[in-house]
Structure 1
Amino acid sequence: MRIIVAGWLRYAGDDRTCAEIITTGRDYILAAREERGCVAYTWAVDPIDPGVIQVYEEWESEQDLLRHFIDPAYAQMRDHLGQWEITGFGVQMYGAGSVEPVYGDDGWPRREIFGVTLAQA
């Protein structure tokens, strides 16, 4: 089952704080992307709330995510993020049993999602 990790971290400081956290954390992001089973891994400054870092990860399996949690780079990443004052966070993981594209071959959003159409919703 594919695992999605998504959420946010809020930091104290001015508009440059989150950008600095991401820039100086580049090596941890790259290390995670090289791990077995990593499909996507990114941190981004929220464009509306610059005190927030949005987090998105996608892993091929539960085992891949669990391996990530025990990788030395993960511990280093946590230490890195802890150098700044975190004032709030909300990060969740989701199990995805099915994966389908959002857009059809015509480039428009699909009219059916996992077998459900608007009329059935």
Structure 2
Amino acid sequence: MRIIVAGWLRYAGDESTCAEIITTGRDHILAAREEKGCLAYTWAVDPIDPGVIQVYEEWESEKDLLQHFADPPYADMRAHLEQWEITGFGVQLYGAGMPEAVYADDGWPRKEIFGVTLEG
């Protein structure tokens, strides 16, 4: 089962704080992307609220994510993020089945998702 990690971190400071955190955290992001089972790993400044970093990760399995948490690069990444004042966060784990395409062959969003069709 694939694992999705998604959520947000809110930081004190001005509009440049989150951009600085991401820019100076580039090596941590790259290290995570090189880990076994990492399919996606990114931090992004929220385009509406620049005091928030949006987090997205995708891992091939629970074991791969647990190994990520146990490896030294994860501790280094946490130490990096904790250099600034975190004022709130909400990060969740999601188990996902096999991925399916959002768009149909014609380039438009699918009319059915996992067997459910919009009525009317």
Q: Deviations over 1:84-103 (max 9, x none)?
A: 00000000000002310101
Residue matched to 1:71: 71
Aligned partner of residue 119 in structure 2, secondary structure: helix
Partner Cα distance (2:104, 2:38) in 1: 25
| Higher mean displacement: 110-119 or 14-23 | 110-119
The CA RMSD measured in Å over matched residues stands at: 1.0
Residue matched to 2:45: 45
1:9 aligns with 2:9: yes
Aligned partner of residue 108 in structure 1, secondary structure: coil
Segments of 4+ moved more than 2 angstroms: none
Aligned partner of residue 23 in structure 1, secondary structure: helix
Partner Cα distance (1:16, 1:64) in 2: 33
Q: Aligned-pair distance for 1:119?
A: 2.3
Point out where structure 1 has 5 or more consecutive residues left out of the alignment: none
Aligned residues: 120
Partner Cα distance (2:98, 2:32) in 1: 23
Q: Deviations over 1:50-93 (max 9, x none)?
A: 00000000000000100100110000000000000000000000
Report the TM-score when normalising by structure 2.
0.98
Partner Cα distance (2:76, 2:7) in 1: 20
Point out where structure 2 has 5 or more consecutive residues left out of the alignment: none
